[in-house]
Amino acid sequence: MTRSRNIPGFKRMALSLLEQADVVVGGSRPWDIQVHDERFYTRVLLNGSLGLGETYMEGLWDVERIDQFIHRLLLQRLNYRVQPLSARFLAASSRIANRQSRSRAGMVAEVHYDLDNDFYQAMLDDHMAYSCGYWERAETLQEAQDHKLALICRKLGLEPGMRLLDIGCGWGSLVRHAADHYGVEAVGVTISRRQAELATTRCKGLPVDIRLQDYRDIDEKFDRIASVGMFEHVGYRNYRHYMKIARRCLDDDGLFLLHTIGQMNTDFNVDPWIERYIFPNSELPSMKQIAEAVEGIFVIEDIHSFGADYDPTLMAWHDNFQRAWPAFADRFDERFHRMWEYYLLCCAASSRARQMQVWQFVLSPNGIPGGYRRPALSG
């Protein structure tokens, strides 16, 4: 009885918020949503982004273009205005507890990265690079990832004979490229068993060592270090410790390139839906948090921001995912299919709304004499 009295009130509130984003329930535009179950309104108002994502996974609503719908919500900052208690608790726990401790570090591999190598091969480019591409002069996903890897190697000034460490190497895209094109000896570490297995196979015949290892256990010297799309799993309470580990492993005249997704505000907010279903214990750093973490450990030589490039990267992954889905429909169910398309398109919308950033930092232990000059992509 109480629930039936509350539903109209929640519906009125939800419709008012949607109206501010120029979204019409039952409308005909690509971003207008079709609600199939009235419980949608209560769930979203009570649970925020968690309720929005879960009700989509359950089929309570549909929309022709998830990315356009979410983009409109984010432009009105509705994700900040609908903050249920569960989201506030998650933010508080990120500040107080170490959700990315050594004992919890493997959870994201079990849930996400160990999913299915064939699945990721179908979704990603030939390098299997699972981070934002560089689209300044690219027209395809493959070109964007080619250019991203080349740019990283040029920023690091890689030369034959150098030793490169890749913290969070994924399926080996960077170490493979660096060893093949720049003649370096490379070590890649990952906590994903399936990533390590496939990366080892893909790097066969090259001077590359792929290790199933936590970053906290690395203790040897390298000329260069890179970390591409892994810092999002380190966590606020570990940022400074992470930087100290990178410093102990880097030669005094070395360079460290950190590529990470970031957020605009230092607010410890974690998206509850992403945290529960996609990246357990994930946490996006702010610029302030990174600066505080490196203070007294590294000199910040260069900051390169190209967060808008994540939008076309994610849209390309989504296109690949949808084309490949018939081959995987018998391995995963329709709930998984809806979950995955929601994840990719929501992140594309967040990048498009510029709430999700992408930064590349070049760091040195003592500062480069005469200063650092960011290299061009080529030439």
Catalytic residues: 347
Q: Closest Cα to residue 78, out of 24, 14, 27, 35?
A: 14
Q: Closest Cα to residue 123, out of 332, 274, 357?
A: 332
Q: How far is CA 325 from CA 53, 195, 206, in A?
A: 20, 21, 33
Looking at this protein, which amino acid is placed at residue 56? Answer: Y
Q: 190 and 128 in contact (C-beta within 8 Å)?
A: no
Helix (H) or strand (E) holding 226: strand 222-228
Helix (H, G, I), strand (E, B), or coil: what is residue 212? strand
Q: 258 and 361 in contact (C-beta within 8 Å)?
A: yes
Looking at the DSSP bridge assignments, the partners of residue 226 are 166, 257
Quote the CA–CA distance of 99 and 83 in Å, as a whole number. 21
Q: Closest Cα to residue 233, out of 200, 203, 189?
A: 189
Q: How far is CA 56 from CA 11, 30, 35, 342, in A?
A: 17, 16, 10, 8
Q: What angle do CA 121, 125, 126 make, to 5 degrees?
A: 80
Give Rg (Cα) of the chain.
Answer: 21
Both tokens of 378, joined, read 């080529």
Quote the CA–CA distance of 283 and 65 in Å, as a whole number. 27
Quote the CA–CA distance of 57 and 127 in Å, as a whole number. 30
Quote the CA–CA distance of 44 and 33 in Å, as a whole number. 14
Helix (H) or strand (E) holding 154: helix 141-156
Helix (H) or strand (E) holding 202: helix 193-202
